[in-house]
Structures are given as structure tokens and as C-alpha cells.
Structure 1
Amino acid sequence: MRVAVPPVVSPGAAPIAGGSLTHAGPQYPGTTMCSAFRTFQGWAALSDMDHDQGVLHIVPIPEALAYLMLRPLLADVAEDDMCGVTVNQVLPASQTWHPLLMWALVGSPDVRAGDSVWWRCDMIHSVAPVENQQGWGSVMYIPAAPWCPRNEQVGTAAGSGRRSGGVAGACRGHRAGDRVR
């Protein structure tokens, strides 16, 4: 299972939305990060999908993300081991390093075209692997991003990038037509 994680907060960078938290952006820009502030996100099913055909899976415990991020620092992990973490990839959760999280992982039930599934951005989430695929499943991803100074900057940069044939802001380093996960 691969999971998405919020960006790193860095001292010395510009304040976000007039607050004291700051964000300097990703140290290693890639397709697994998003610069926009999202409060929650969702899927709208464009086709019918059975529960074993790649639907959303989550660990419905917000504190689990802290455990995932701090796991490499625990005493039973070698100093040079990061529990499967790789630069420019989402954080992995595995049975080897995170058995308690795997126990808590739950999947969406069958979804039908028009159904929607919503979750908080700080929830560990993934798309389940599919064996014996039965047709195509299609969903539309829906990020919920409130209007705030941070998102205004990201939107302006992304719009400028698109007009010039590339992508900027939330998806730096990509050209129009690139596959962004």
C-alpha cells in the first residue's frame, strides 16, 4: 500500500494564510506532493466498481499518520533503514513495518456510478490492488481546497504554467499531458 502524506512544515519560510505555520515546499519536488492546502478530498464514481476492484482503502485513525512518519525512529529499526521510504515516492505502509496499521485498513464497499466517497487529507489512504480485474473502474478525484492566500498562490502559478504549456505550483516539473498521480 502506498499512502499520501501532507507537505513538510519548515521554519524560516513564508507564513501560510497569515498564521505562524510556514511551508518552504518539497525538498525533492515530484508527483507525490501537492502544494495546495486541502481540507478533505473525495472520489466520484464514474462507473460501477466492486469492493475488490481497486476502490479506496483508508486507515480511519488520524493519529496513524504520526505513527507512519515516526516509525523509522523506533528502537527496532536499524539506523540506516527508513521502513521502505523512497525519495519522490509516497510513504509506504507494509505488513513488515506497520502491522497494526494493516489491521486497521478498511475498504470502501461496492460503489455505483454517481456514488461519492470522501475522506480527510490526514488519513492514510490508498487504492487497493486488483487481482482478476473485471472491466474498467473509473473515478474522478475531487480535492476540496478552501479559498485562502496559499491556494490563491498555487492556483495562479498553476494557471500560468498551463498557459505556457507546462504545469507549475502544485505539480512543478510536469508538462501538459504528463501523467500525474
Structure 2
Amino acid sequence: MATNSDAISFPPRFLELKREIASSYPDFEIRITQAWKEVIVELATVSAKIKQDGTQYIPQVNFDELDKLSAERVATIKRRGCVVIRDVVNDEQAIAWRESLKEFVRINPVDGTPVDDKQFFQLYWTKAQVQARANPNLLKANIWLNNLYHDNSGKKSQNVDLSVPLTYADRFRIRRPGVGWSFHPPHIDGGSIERWEDPIFRKCFGKILAGQWREHDPYDLQDRLDARSSLYGRPNQSTVFRTFQGWLSMSETGPTQGTLKVFPDVLLSNTYIILRPFFKPLVPVDSPDFLDPKNWAFDLTNSNFPGLWPRDGGWAGPSPTPISHPHMLLEETMTSVPKVSPGDTVFWHCDVVHSVETDHTGKEDSAVMYIPAVPYTAANFDYVQRQRECFLKAQRPPDFPKGEAEAAFIGVADVNDIDNDLGRKAMGLPITVA
């Protein structure tokens, strides 16, 4: 749920945080005011293109062509921050996983949302989920996605290996037609106020804060390796660095059928969202010139961080809205991903604004398993080791809300459901010896 920032009491220390940031960069006001004007102009241009192309603006590739893509197509995927990868898993296998999940929730007293019509499930260790995460094709796709990033930190040999994928256990949904969902409006995961408050995470956006926004590289690993995305221990706030969030489709689902929507330009959205707390409008929201850059001014007099709100002892968001982030034109630019079939995957960069369609107008269930791309880093592997212990006990993973373990359920996976060494290594398990 996104909330109007004017109705939120932000702590005074957030104003001090803004002033600290401002004092850290030479000519901060001059440089970011110019950057603000420039990004607003480019947002208008790109938004018009997104609106014109619609779903086709989202890049689409086949799994078997990943290593053959031209530099131009790869650059497009990186700029838009999202991609549909087709035929990663064969249709029959994906459908079989879906049916096994339906059976699992039928015979076990599982926890899910909505409570009276469960469709989003607090389950992590079913056989289908464990097998899917260990699927060699899916892990190879993850390796390709991880390698869209680069590491110039000098720590590569000990702290990161982009060719070693790790498993991050998440949930699944089987969404029924005709049921409205309102709990996934536009948002970014993997860090809220932490993007500004954590000094290392903030460095990931250093070029933006220096006014050199066109030089911002969302795929630079240097500071992400040590960035803290969860300072408050809030449930559902990932402590793992995911290069891309993603899901595997287990059904045929298209636009208007409860699918994913994205703002498909990670450079522009990062720039605008990071700069937004430092500017305020000079005219009312209903003014015909509200979006004109000349009607926005640099401001260091309030503690507001538009798009954030307090939750579970920490802060949720960024969740941009048409009011909090008007220049993103979200009602026109949040774009549904193309129609997918069972075995297709959808991935989006960890900074990409995304949402789930409110309505599902189709006739069949929309079913996906959430499976992100996670590279080997020291911090990620530490999490995987703790996650592995949860797996062996069929308990919920460390990042997720506490609740009933799955150990007593019928059909929970064990180590024998991971039948290949790449999958076992990704889960932090010993590899088999021939």
C-alpha cells in the first residue's frame, strides 16, 4: 500500500540525512537541479514511446539464443531492465509442477492470501518449487542474467562469482480469474530508505547524486556487494542481492490476466526516484503546468521521502504513485509483460519498478513460481547456508515472516529432489561424487 507522503510524519533525522547527502557532493544543488530538469524531459520522451509500443516494448528472447544475442539486443535488455526468456522449461514439466502444487495446497492446511480464497501461498519447500529452482536450464538463465553485471571492485576472486548461481527460496501464486488484487501496486523491492540511508547502498547511485545521471550504471557491482538492503529487519525485506527478480510461468497468461507490469527503463526510474526527495512542486497538483520543470524547486527544508511509509518497524517502498512521482506517468507507462506460456520466465532488474495487474480477466488460473537470479557473493552464500538449514528442517527461510513449518505437510521436498550438482551447489549442499 503506497501512502501520500504529506500524510506521513517522517522522522527529523531524514532531513539531516538529506543535508548530509547534499554536503557530500560538490555544487549539489546546481548539479542535481540540472539533472532533475534533464531527466524530466527524457521521461516525457521515453514515456511516449512506451505508451506507443505497449507490451512489445518489453524485450523477448528464446532460451537457446541467450549466448548468441547481438550487443545491441543485450544493451536494450539492460536499459529496459526486464526480459521475457521463453522455453526455459518444457511445457509439460511446468504444467506438472502446477498440478502438483494444486494438489499440495488441497491436501495440506497451508497459509495463504486472501485468507478466505487462498491464491498466494507461504510455501517454500514443495517438491515442485525445489525441483524448479534446481532446473539446469533455469540456473543457466540465471548465470546469463548475473553476467549482465560487472565487478571492478578488485574483490572478485574472493567475494563474487557471477558464474555460480545461488538459490533463493521464495513463494508461488495460483491466481484465479475474476479476483481483484490490490496488494502489489508499483514498487521496488530490495531496499527502501536504505537506498539513501546506508552509505554503501547510496554509493550505487553516486553518479546520480553527483548530477552525472547519464553515467549511472545499474549493473555495476562495486558497491552493491556490501550494500545493506535491510537495516530494520523488516519481514519480506530481502537481505540477499538479487541481480534480477523473476518468475517461472506454469500457465498461459497475458496482459489483463493478472500478470506482471513494469516501468521499462531502469536508468530513468533510478534517477528520478533517487532525486525526488530533494524537490518540491511550486504549483498545485491540478495546475496545467504541474509537470513543467520550472515549477519544481530544490528543497532541503523537509524530511519527506515521497513513496516511502513506515511498516513493521522499518520503512516500505519506494512505491511511486501518480501523486508522489508524477513525471513517471505511471498510469501510462506501467506496462504488462507479453503473453507467456508454461515454461517461460520473466525477469526484472532489482531496481525496476514493478506491480501486479489488479484484475484478472482471463478464464484460467495464472500460476507462477517466484525464482530470482542470485550470484555467488560472500553475503549471499552466508544467507544460503542459513537457508539450507531451514530447508533441511522444512522451516520458513530467514528473510520471510515466521510461521508454521512445512515439516508436517505431505509432499515436502528433501535433498533427493535436487538431482544435479549445479542445483545442489546453488543450495549450499554437497555435490555428488561419481
**TM-score range with shorter-chain normalisation?**
0.7 to 0.9
Q: Which residue of 2 aligns with 1:129?
A: 358
The residue aligned with 1:92 is 319
Q: In the alignment, residue 397 of structure 2 is paired with which amino acid? A: V
Which of the numbers 258, 262, 265 marks the counterpart of 1:58? 262
Letter of the 1:87 partner, please give it: P
Distance of 1:48 and 1:164 partners within structure 2: 30
Are 1:39 and 1:144, in contact at CA under 8 Å, matched by a contact in 2? yes
Correspondence 1:4-153 to 2 at 5 A: 4-7=188-191, 8=194, 10-11=198-199, 22-24=226-228, 26-63=230-267, 64-76=269-281, 79=302, 81-88=304-311, 89-101=316-328, 102=330, 103-130=332-359, 132=361, 134-153=363-382
In structure 2, the residue matched to 1:175 is 403
SS at match of 2:358: coil
Give how far 1:151 is off.
1.1
**Quick one: distance in 1 between partners of 2:341 and 2:365?**
13
Moved more, 138-147 or 115-124: 115-124
Q: Is the 8 A contact 2:244 2:374 kept in 1?
A: yes
Shift of 1:55: 1.1
Q: CA deviation at 1:57?
A: 1.1
Cα distance, 1:67 vs structure 2: 1.8
Cα RMSD (Å) = 3.0
Deviation at 1:132, TM superposition (A): 4.6
CA distance in 2, matches of 1:131, 1:166: 29
- Does structure 2 retain, via aligned residues, the 8 Å contact 1:42–1:119? yes
Identity %: 24
Alpha-carbon spacing, 1:130–1:115, altered in 2? closer, same or farther (3 Å): same
Deviation of 1:153 (Å): 0.6
Secondary structure of 1:138's partner? strand
Point out the structure with the larger strand share.
1
Aligned to 2:83: none
Are the aligned partners of 2:246 and 2:348 in contact in 1 as well (CA < 8 Å)? yes
Distance 1:4 1:60, change over 3 A: same
Contact 2:228 2:239 (8 Å CA) reproduced: no
Deviation at 1:27, TM superposition (A): 2.6
- 1:85-125 CA-to-partner distances (Å, cap 9, x unmatched) read 21243321211122332143221122222222222222111
SS in 2 for 1:143: coil
One-letter code aligned to 2:246 = G
The residue that corresponds to 1:15 in the other structure is: none
**Greater relative CO (CA pairs within 8 A, separation 6+):** 1
1:11, distance to aligned residue in structure 2 (A): 4.7
CA distance in 2, matches of 1:73, 1:27: 22
Instruction: Kindly name which structure, 1 or 2, has the bigger radius of gyration based on alpha carbons.
Output: 2
Seen in structure 2, the aligned counterparts of structure 1 residues 136 and 34 have a Cα distance that, compared at 3 Å, is: same
CA, structure 1 residues 25+75, in 2 after alignment: closer, same or farther (shift >3 Å)? closer
What is the CA–CA distance in structure 2 between the aligned matches of 1:81 and 1:110, rounded to whole Å?
39
Does the CA-based 8 Å contact 1:11-1:22 persist in structure 2? no
1:3-42 deviations in Å (ceiling 9; x for gaps): 1233336359xxxxxx666344523222342111211232
SS in 1 for 2:375: coil
Structure 2 distance, partners of 1:164, 1:109, is 35
Contact 1:2 1:90 in 2 (8 A): no
TM-score, normalised by the number of residues in structure 1: 0.75
TM-score of the two chains, using structure 2 as the length reference: 0.35
Q: Which has the higher helix share?
A: 2
Q: Distance in 2 between matches of 1:109 and 1:25?
A: 30
